[in-house]
Structure 1
Amino acid sequence: MVIAPHPDDEVLGCGGVMARHVAAGDKVHVLVVTTGHADHFSAEEVGIVKNECRQAHALLGVAKTIHLDFPAPLLDTLPGCRLASAVREVIRQIRPTMIYFPFEDDLHSDHRAVFLATMVASRPLDDSAVAVLLNYETRSETDWAPPKNGSVFIPQKYVDIEAHLDIKLEAMQCYRSQLKEYPHPRSLHGLKALAEFRGSTVRMKAAEAFSVIRELAF
């Protein structure tokens, strides 16, 4: 399961890995935590992004998309227990073996709130415990975050997405309202450049990198 604070974060962070999982026969579920609040986004803008999300997920072969519709960009105004409980309920329903979710010190406060809620929601309290927790990096959030008390995104797991980079980029093209022109990091060129950089670090042509939060071996 992939947890995205906003529609498009899932493609930015792990669109290639999502396609790889689907190609391997795995069921990929996406939990989109927020929708644009009326004070910041028009109803038309919200509708456009949700439609783009449907297109991107259909292209990637997502089995199910769940929208919690909490207000963006206002997650830091909500009680943490409310957000964690909502995420926990989805985990109990889906019972994923792996969760991909945002880095704890991303620049956007919504990302940080989702990180904490996921950590609370995925505590190994019962038989719905999630075996693998991985943080993905989000362009213009992870890379723009200032180092705080030495907390920076350090890749520990690299996944080869050479065969799936094109579909990741196609899925991002579905989010036309969110795409930027290069040299913005949320451009197609910016996404490809990061994939090639991460790949070249470990002698792959393209990779997505993750920080390992937990990995259980039963």
Structure 2
Amino acid sequence: MLQLFENILVIAAHPDDEVLGVGGTIPKLVKMGKKVDVLVFTDGSSTQYSNDNAILESKFGEAKRANDILGTTLLPREDFPDMRLDTVAHADKNIALGNIISKGGYDTVFVQDRTDINKDHNELFESTLVSCRPYPGQKVKHLLSYYVNSSTEWGNMLKKKPFNPNIFIDISDTIEDKLNAMAEYKTELRDYPHPRSLDGIRNSAKYFGNMVGMQYAEPFHLVFSK
């Protein structure tokens, strides 16, 4: 399926989501000659670290280094409030995201799944649906949602509709790229057995790979493909 993708946007509510969800698939796409941009939609730290500009700059420095490893272009960050996307008017998020997607001319978009326990992820998924809906002239042909360690598994346990992957990408040859990129997110990395530890991320990729006869895989839900 990766052969169908040419101009790709990975949407992340927070810096590190793109690595957790798509960090093994991205370098596969880049090595195939595909163009991959990453958009971080929130300021990344305003709620957790109020008025701490040093943390904010540190997180986006980490994001730049991580995405350099993956081979992506990190788009200029948006300044929507971290952990408070539900306080922003739906139309405002739709307009901002729609403008970015339209300007970029993307044919493929990845975004966090709606089943996550994280409300920012839910809000961003809903706005992505609006921005990518298939209307005449819409350039987006493929929309996929992705799994985020320490968010999606809790949604699976606590929500009526769990994450239901129907696409699995073999990342056996890029798992180290994913882990090396995540290692740059020192403000987000945790010690094992936290699911956002390097061992936890490896185990998750192994679990999804074992489901479909691969050593390591990333799971996605194909929302639509046309």
For the aligned pair, the TM-score class normalised by the smaller chain equals over 0.9
- The residue number in structure 2 matching 1:33 is 41
Q: 1:106 aligns with which of 105, 116, 120?
A: 116
Contact 1:16 1:161 in 2 (8 A): yes
* AA in 2 matched with 1:200: N
C-alpha separation in 2, matches of 1:52 and 1:114: 22
1:51 aligned residue: 61
Q: Which runs of 5+ in 2 are unaligned?
A: 1-8
Q: Which of these residues, 182, 185, 201, is aligned with residue 211 of structure 2?
A: 201
TM-superposed CA distance for 1:126, in Å, is 3.5
Q: Is the 8 A contact 2:166 2:220 kept in 1?
A: yes
- Pick the aligned partner of 2:175 from 165, 176, 180: 165
Q: Distance in 1 between matches of 2:74 and 2:44?
A: 21
Structure 2 partner of 1:81: 91
The alpha carbon displacement at 1:66 in A equals 3.3
Secondary structure at the counterpart of residue 25 of structure 1: coil
The gaps in structure 1 that reach 5 residues or longer are none
How far the C-alpha of 1:69 sits from its partner, in A, is 1.6
Q: How many residues align?
A: 215
CA contact (8 A) 2:47 2:83 kept: no
Which of 150, 153, 161 is matched with 1:151 structurally? 161
Give the alignment's TM-score, normalised by structure 1. 0.95
Residue deviations 1:111-168 (CA, integer Å, cap 9, x gap): 11100010011112242331111110001110012443x3101110000001100000
User: 65-74 or 184-193: which moved more?
Assistant: 65-74
Native 8 Å contact 1:95 1:128 kept in 2: no
Give, in whole Å, the separation in 2 of the partners of 1:128 and 1:214: 13
Alpha-carbon separation, structure 2, partners of 1:144 and 1:94: 33
- Cα offset, 1:108, TM superposition: 1.0
* Aligned residue among 8, 12, 18 for 2:26: 18
What CA distance in whole angstroms lies between the structure 2 residues aligned with 1:63 and 1:139?
23
Asked whether the 8 Å contact 2:145–2:221 carries over to 1, the reply is yes
Q: Aligned-residue CA RMSD in angstroms?
A: 1.2
The verdict on how the C-alpha distance between 1:91 and 1:126 changes in structure 2, with shifts beyond 3 A counting, is farther
Offset of 1:38 from its aligned partner? 4.0
* Corresponding letter in the other structure for 2:22: C
Which of 185, 191, 201 in structure 1 is aligned with 2:201? 191
- Calculate percent identity across the aligned residue pairs: 35
